């Protein structure tokens, strides 16, 4: 969990209330964060990853102020129209397609405020932005920029500017090779023929996200009063929420927020949007989950202590909260506001003897065998997208789509595990080889026989990548697993699978029971994931294996 340190005096200024030291410690601990201590006027807190809005002193103080009842309810923020535009060109759609932007005016950036801004930016980069992979943040002195601003993509050799704290002008390719920040984050643009770039109306480079700002127009100084703020990445929702976290913190510093028109090739968006998300509340559901009997009035009061609004049986979620996806998340905040120390401790009236589920013990055995082969277990999301599941894998699975996807990056349930494995390999090309990984998890398919219309199956996937990886290696690994489980008489037959090289792919079965497919991944698939090394993989049906091993169906 990220650790943040706040000056106690600054924190109390933004919170609007000063508490006795022991009470301050107690209340911070019950806010849902882990207080490490308060020493020498410095508050040190561990913030859970689901609350990136608490990473700034302004955001933490805002939440704390509501929690202690000083200033409750939904904070209202307003963005005044600036009539300024950011033009997002089609060229950037393949490298970093989305940005959300704003202008904040009227802050005098002394050393303390510059430190606060840098701290917000870096903490969000590391956590919410996943080390700039999902979100990259740029903050620039607006007085040095001529509008309209363009967000486009160009050949790295054609992007020439002086990088932040650099000694000379360089092209973007040189920056990745020679500048410390370029070396640190250059892998995020590896393999790209064009790089994303922000340009002003005079073609002056503002930055190359997610790498670095320009020294001339990307450095905040004590003379700066107005700033241009942008977040860029691959999902507009993430950029929009991250921008709201930053500019609401700046508004709490005393800044005035101005909106901008984002002119995409197919639409125009006004950013930022401070409108709260609305979630319909089923109060009996919340009460049942928490073991409480809250009235609607009591519920509304507790909501207010967590910074929410309430209108027409709907919770109004602040624009900077990234963690509220379902009303169960509202329930968690209600529990915090009610106070975990106030819940009655009740001993269950059910006596049971616990034991590990046989299928879980079997999965543990599988993991133990694969670790013995020198493999490392990984875990990827149940949610995915069409590009990962089908396009990059040259496959055509019928995917289960989410009715109300929160993120454009994850609108479907995964149909198989191998795309997630390829994503892991693709993100680790800068590390040493061989790379041997496996994972077990659920996959989903449309199934009219199920009440939900969605079937769920347990699968095991194995992937190996290095310069000599071949069909023989993956077959040996799979057959070792089968022998170790006591199986025999399996059959290996040539199998046609679009993700694998023809003639280098096989299926394994015992009797009429299909168990697995395996083979060498095709060059087309390897290229789509940015892999230069050969890779082999297999995907196995865990339920079928379990059935054969423990029920004697051989």
Partnered with residue 412 across adjacent β-strands are 384, 401
Q: How far apart are CA 521 and CA 463, in angstroms?
A: 10
**Side-chain-side CA neighbours of residue 308 (13 Å):** 28
Non-local CB neighbours of 252 within 8 Å, separated by 6+ positions: 14, 58, 61, 62
pLDDT tens readout for residues 424-465: 999 999 899 999 999 999 999 999 888 888 999 999 999 999
The 8 Å CB, 24+ separation contacts for 279-284 are 279/314, 279/315, 279/317, 279/324, 279/326, 279/327, 279/330, 280/313, 280/314, 280/327, 281/310, 281/313, 281/314, 281/315, 281/327, 281/330, 282/327, 283/313
Residue 519 predicted with pLDDT over 90: yes
pLDDT tens readout for residues 169-187: 999 999 999 999 999 999 9
Q: For the packed helices 57-67 and 8-15, what is the interaxial angle rounded to 10 degrees?
A: 50
Q: For the packed helices 21-30 and 57-67, what is the interaxial angle rounded to 10 degrees?
A: 100
Partnered with residue 540 across adjacent β-strands are 460, 516
pLDDT tier at 529, thresholds 50, 70, 90: very high
Find, among 246, 250, 245, 193, the residue nearest to 224 by Cα. 250
Tell me which fold the domain 276-339 belongs to.
Answer: Phenylalanyl-tRNA Synthetase; Chain B, domain 1 (3.30.56)
At 551 the pLDDT is 65
At 511 the pLDDT is 86
pLDDT tens readout for residues 408-419: 788 999 999 999
Partnered with residue 400 across adjacent β-strands are 413
At 195 the pLDDT is 97
Q: How far apart are CA 306 and CA 296, in angstroms?
A: 16
Q: Which helix (H) or strand (E) holds 274?
A: none
pLDDT tens readout for residues 457-497: 999 999 999 999 999 999 999 999 999 999 888 999 999 99
pLDDT tens readout for residues 144-167: 999 999 999 999 999 999 999 988
Find, among 508, 529, 527, 525, the residue nearest to 517 by Cα. 508
pLDDT > 70 fraction of the chain, expressed in percent and rounded: 99
**H-type helices in 447-538, by residue range?**
471-484, 523-528
The mean pLDDT of 227-246, rounded to a whole number, is 96
**H-type helices in 374-442, by residue range?**
386, 418-426
Find, among 424, 426, 427, the residue nearest to 438 by Cα. 424
Q: What is the dihedral of CA 323, 324, 326, 329, to 10 degrees?
A: 80
**Are the beta carbons of 339 and 301 closer than 8 angstroms?**
no
Residue 391 predicted with pLDDT over 90: yes
Tokens 């089968």 -> residue? 482
Task: For domain 78-269, give the CATH number.
Answer: 3.50.40.10
pLDDT tens readout for residues 210-232: 999 999 999 999 999 999 999 99
Non-local CB neighbours of 200 within 8 Å, separated by 6+ positions: 145, 146, 147, 149, 150, 206, 217
329, burial (CB in 10 Å: exposed 0-12, middle 13-18, buried 19+) = middle
Beta strand 400-401 with 412-413 is antiparallel
At 500 the pLDDT is 96
**Are the beta carbons of 107 and 117 closer than 8 angstroms?**
no
The 8 Å CB, 24+ separation contacts for 545-552 are 545/362, 545/366, 545/460, 545/485, 545/487, 545/515, 546/358, 546/359, 546/362, 547/513, 548/487, 548/510, 548/513, 548/515, 549/362, 549/485, 549/486, 549/487, 550/358, 550/362
Tell me which fold the domain 1-66 belongs to.
Answer: Phenylalanyl-tRNA Synthetase; Chain B, domain 1 (3.30.56)
pLDDT tier at 553, thresholds 50, 70, 90: very low
* Domain coordinates in residue numbering, the chain: 1-66, 78-269, 276-339, 356-550
The mean pLDDT of 196-217, rounded to a whole number, is 96
Selected from 3.30.1490.20, 3.30.930.10, 3.30.1440.10, 3.90.550.10, the CATH number assigned to the domain covering 356-550 reads: 3.30.930.10
At 552 the pLDDT is 56
1-66 with 356-550: one CATH topology? Answer: no
Q: How far apart are CA 403 and CA 347, in angstroms?
A: 39
Residue 554 predicted with pLDDT over 50: no
Provide the 3-class DSSP secondary structure of residue 305: helix
Find, among 217, 196, 209, the residue nearest to 242 by Cα. 209
């Amino acid at each position: 969990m990220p650790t943040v340190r706040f000056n106690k005096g600054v924190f109390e200024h933004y919170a609007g209330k000063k508490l006795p030291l022991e009470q301050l410690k107690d209340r911070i601990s019950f806010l849902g964060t882990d207080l490490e201590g308060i020493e020498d006027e410095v508050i040190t807190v561990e913030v859970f990853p689901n609350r990136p809005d608490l990473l700034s002193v302004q955001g933490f103080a805002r939440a704390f102020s509501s929690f202690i009842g000083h200033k409750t309810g939904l904070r209202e923020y307003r963005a005044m129209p600036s009539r300024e535009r950011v033009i997002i060109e089609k060229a950037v759609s393949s490298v970093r397609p989305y940005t959300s932007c704003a202008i904040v005016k009227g802050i005098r950036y002394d050393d303390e405020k510059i430190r606060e801004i840098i701290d917000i930016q870096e903490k969000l980069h590391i956590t919410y932005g996943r080390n700039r992979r999902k979100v990259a943040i740029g903050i620039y002195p607006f007085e040095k920029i001529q509008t309209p601003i363009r967000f486009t993509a160009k050949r790295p050799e054609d992007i020439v500017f002086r990088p932040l704290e650099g000694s000379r002008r360089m092209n973007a390719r040189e920056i990745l090779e020679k500048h410390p920040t370029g070396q640190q984050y250059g892998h995020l643009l590896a393999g790209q023929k064009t790089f994303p770039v922000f340009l002003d109306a005079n073609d002056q480079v503002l930055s190359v996200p997610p790498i670095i700002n320009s020294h001339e127009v990307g450095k905040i100084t004590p003379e700066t009063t107005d700033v241009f703020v942008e977040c860029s990445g691959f999902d507009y929702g993430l950029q929009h929420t991250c921008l709201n976290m930053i500019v609401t913190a700046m508004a709490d510093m005393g800044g005035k927020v101005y909106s901008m028109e984002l002119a995409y090739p197919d639409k125009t968006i006004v950013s930022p949007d401070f409108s709260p998300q609305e979630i319909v509340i089923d109060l009996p559901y919340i009460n049942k989950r928490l073991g409480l009997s809250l009235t609607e009035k009591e519920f509304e009061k507790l909501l207010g202590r967590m910074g929410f609004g309430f209108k027409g049986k709907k919770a109004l979620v602040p624009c900077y909260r990234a963690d509220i996806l379902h009303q169960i998340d509202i329930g968690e905040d209600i529990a915090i506001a009610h106070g975990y120390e106030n819940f009655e401790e009740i001993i269950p009236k059910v006596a049971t003897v616990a034991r590990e589920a046989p299928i879980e013990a079997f999965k543990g055995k599988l993991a133990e065998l694969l670790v013995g082969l020198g493999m490392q277990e990984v875990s990827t999301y149940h949610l995915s997208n069409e590009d990962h599941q089908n396009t990059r894998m040259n496959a055509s699975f019928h995917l289960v789509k989410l009715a109300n996807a929160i993120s454009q990056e994850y609108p479907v349930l995964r149909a198989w595990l191998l795309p997630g494995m390829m994503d892991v390999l693709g993100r680790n090309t800068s590390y040493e080889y061989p790379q041997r990984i496996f994972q077990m998890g659920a996959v989903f398919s449309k199934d009219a026989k199920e009440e939900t219309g969605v079937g769920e199956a347990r699968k095991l996937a194995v992937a190996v990548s290095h310069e000599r990886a071949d069909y023989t290696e993956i077959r040996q690994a799979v057959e070792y697993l089968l022998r170790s489980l006591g199986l025999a008489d399996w059959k290996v037959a040539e199998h046609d699978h679009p993700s694998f090289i023809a003639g280098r792919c096989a299926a394994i079965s015992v009797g009429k029971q299909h168990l697995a497919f395996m083979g060498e991944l095709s060059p087309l698939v390897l290229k789509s994931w940015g892999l230069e090394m050969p890779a082999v993989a297999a995907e196995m049906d865990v339920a079928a294996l379990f059935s054969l091993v423990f029920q004697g169906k051989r």
